[in-house]
């Protein structure tokens, strides 16, 4: 089994033990792909059909607003990314999902995941726990977006995402926080 699929199983096992039958299914149906910086996993108008486990690299989602890119989330190694709304509603995406640091991803189609859930029903517990974690992260991003002070948004972001912030180019953190990169740099300098 590729090391990347083993890592996926190890990470999701932290949420719920992965039965042997499910491990075998993942070995057979997961695809490992390498992506270069700047490549897209999804563009507006496309329907998302794949879950991506980040073995290595950094991925972001963004929308375009008045010719400006607005970063909506950023994920790093050992996280799973997709466009939940597009996938589950089978509707065209409104966001881009882009590789911002070279990435190696373990991919599983939504159809194959549904097949796995039918084959191994206890995997539904794992999926529920993963979705809860995904929702909690979305809630944190929502909190950050509502903090009125740019300095307070920055401090909160750096506290919550202390481990992954150093891996992310500043321009994307600034975009996510709704501030200019120069402002973020000044805030980071003051924090030292």
Confidence of residue 1 (pLDDT cuts 50, 70, 90): low
Residue 192 has pLDDT above 70, yes or no: no
Confidence at residue 35, expressed as pLDDT on a 0 to 100 scale: 98
pLDDT of residue 71: 96
DSSP characters for 18-39? Answer: --HHHHHHHHHH-EEEEE-TT-
CATH superfamily of the domain spanning 3-145: Jelly Rolls (2.60.120.10)
For 9-54, write each residue's pLDDT tens digit: 999 999 999 999 999 999 999 999 999 999 999 999 999 999 999 9
Task: Kindly write down the DSSP assignment for every residue of 64-111, as one continuous string.
Answer: EETTEEEEEEEE-TT-EE--HHHHHHT---SSEEEEEEEEEEEEEEHH
């Amino acid at each position: 089994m590729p090391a990347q699929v083993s890592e996926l199983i190890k990470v999701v096992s932290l949420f719920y033990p992965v039965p042997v039958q499910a491990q075998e299914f993942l070995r057979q149906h997961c695809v490992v792909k390498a992506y270069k910086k700047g490549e897209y996993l999804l563009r507006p108008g496309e329907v998302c059909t794949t879950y991506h486990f980040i073995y290595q690299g950094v991925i972001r989602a963004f929308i375009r607003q008045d010719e400006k890119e607005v970063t909506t989330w950023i994920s790093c190694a050992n996280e799973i990314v997709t466009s939940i709304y597009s996938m589950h509603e089978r509707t065209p995406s409104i966001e881009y999902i882009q590789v911002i640091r070279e990435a190696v991803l373990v991919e599983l189609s939504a159809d194959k995941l549904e097949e796995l859930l039918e084959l191994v029903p206890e995997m539904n517990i794992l999926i529920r726990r993963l979705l809860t974690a995904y929702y909690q992260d979305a809630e944190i991003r929502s909190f950050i977006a509502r903090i009125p002070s740019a300095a307070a948004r920055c401090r909160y972001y750096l506290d919550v995402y202390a481990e992954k912030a150093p891996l992310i180019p500043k321009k994307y953190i600034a975009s996510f926080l709704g501030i200019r990169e120069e402002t973020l740099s000044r805030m980071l300098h003051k924090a030292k």
